[in-house]
Chain A
Amino acid sequence: MQCSDFYKQIDDRLDKELSDMACVEMDTHIEQCASCRDALREEQALRQALRDIPVPEATPGFAARALRRAAAANAVAHHPHRNRTFAAGFAAAFVAGIVLWFVTGIFGPEGEYGTSQPQLAQLSISLHETRRVKLAFNSPEDMERVRVSLVLPDHVELEGYPGRKQIAWYTDLRKGDNVLTLPLSALRSDEGVFTAEIGHGQTAQKIQINLNVERPGVSRLGDMKSA
């Protein structure tokens, strides 16, 4: 067996796709070829390392929470307002978006479901923690130049935008889910309202969250409950 043939068969051998006969030929070859022996060992070590790379456990209660959210989000998705005209559809989409967002947002660690259409939610963050908050907008169709604006309370900032309390930009929405992830960092213990507004033409919808930053070790009962 030539070294080039050996190299070509390493993958098949480690994938257990090689015949016994071919394996014996490879074994015979590496008895007298240190280079190929090393190559096989290195590949085996890499495969083992790939299998061993740990996967962190999901957050506690994730499975139960995810199942409940799936049910709740589908309840929202069947909202009768979805088939209206553009303007109404747009407003309904925002409502759906808000609800979906709140559906996403109102689950606490135990996944308790609060209400179907809340307008204000409570979110508790530990001091110096960064919490990724998601705003999901379900749009009935593609929309251009939708204005998104955020107003942050003094004790919280958007990661990557230090000191910015008002951030606004135009964007396009695609049909379906448009998810905006906002990493909110808690700067000091306090309470205040975070506002996200999304608008198109004369239509706008506002989402407000009462952000409570707690000191480490303080109980987070009531985390993400609807108001």
Chain B
Amino acid sequence: MKNIFSFWQGRSDTKPGFEELIAPHIERLYRLAYRFTANRHDAEDLVQELLVKMYPRARELAKLEKPGPWLAKSLYHLFIDQSRRASHSPVSLIEDTSIEIDSATSTNAGPGEEFAREQTFSEIEQALLSLNINQRTLIAMHDMEGYTLVELASILDTPVGTLKSRLHRARASLRKQLTEK
């Protein structure tokens, strides 16, 4: 991350500190964006758009004790807005919904086990894509990226009890999709 900071050193900008504030969160935001979009390009685009929107709000960001959940909340709403806009847009965007598996990810498993493992991942990812967007994002944030129920309650402005019920239904839908495959 050093190169990110050094690029702006000595620059008298109207938004001092934006890079220093947000740079530590970019990797986690990208991961979350990838979980939402299942596509590296779209994930990068989503984070890029978030940064463009956050840039004028650097001072607001600086006042936050823990900007992480706030940024995750903004990313989530941006993704939901984009998805809704895309579903109603008269512009027919060509979407790349292919699932990317990181070939660099290595395990100690043998080739057969590794293949089976990747196949399992692929099936789960396809099943996730068939869920509705609210269920998919909920599982992505909680079960995949480890946001706690308390954090999610803040991010989604939803009581913990309601989140538990929604998560329960989302997982049931996921299991159903996996069983039907």
Q: Which residues of A contact B (CB under 8 A)?
A: 11-12, 15, 17, 43, 46-47, 49-59, 62-64, 66-71, 73-74, 77, 104, 132, 134, 148, 159-160, 171-172, 174, 177-183
Note all chain A residues with C-beta closer than 8 A to B105: 54
B168 x A11 contact (CB < 8 A): yes
B93 x A66 contact (CB < 8 A): no
Given contacts A74-B52, A160-B94, contact A58 B144 (CB under 8 A): no
Give the interface size bracket for B toward A.
Answer: 35 or more
Complex Cα distance, B44 from A51, in Å, reads: 21
Complex Cα distance, B145 from A51, in Å, reads: 7
Complex Cα distance, B139 from A50, in Å, reads: 9
Q: What DSSP secondary structure best describes chain B's contact surface?
A: helix
How many contacting A-B pairs (Cβ < 8 A)? 126
Given contacts A15-B149, A178-B91, contact A69 B48 (CB under 8 A): yes
Give a binary string over B86-120; 1 marks a CB under 8 Å from any A CB, 0 the rest. Answer: 00011101111000111011000000000000001
The reply on B22 being an interface residue by CB < 8 A is yes
Q: A59-B44, A67-B19, A171-B90 are in contact. List 6 more A-B contacts (CB 8 A).
A: A47-B143, A50-B139, A52-B121, A58-B40, A69-B51, A70-B54
The reply on B4 being an interface residue by CB < 8 A is yes
Complex Cα distance, B56 from A20, in Å, reads: 48
Cross-chain pairs A/B with CB under 8 angstroms, 26 sampled: A15-B167, A46-B171, A46-B175, A49-B121, A51-B143, A51-B146, A53-B124, A54-B102, A54-B121, A55-B35, A56-B40, A56-B101, A58-B44, A62-B47, A63-B1, A63-B26, A66-B44, A66-B51, A67-B7, A68-B7, A70-B54, A71-B55, A74-B52, A132-B96, A179-B93, A181-B93
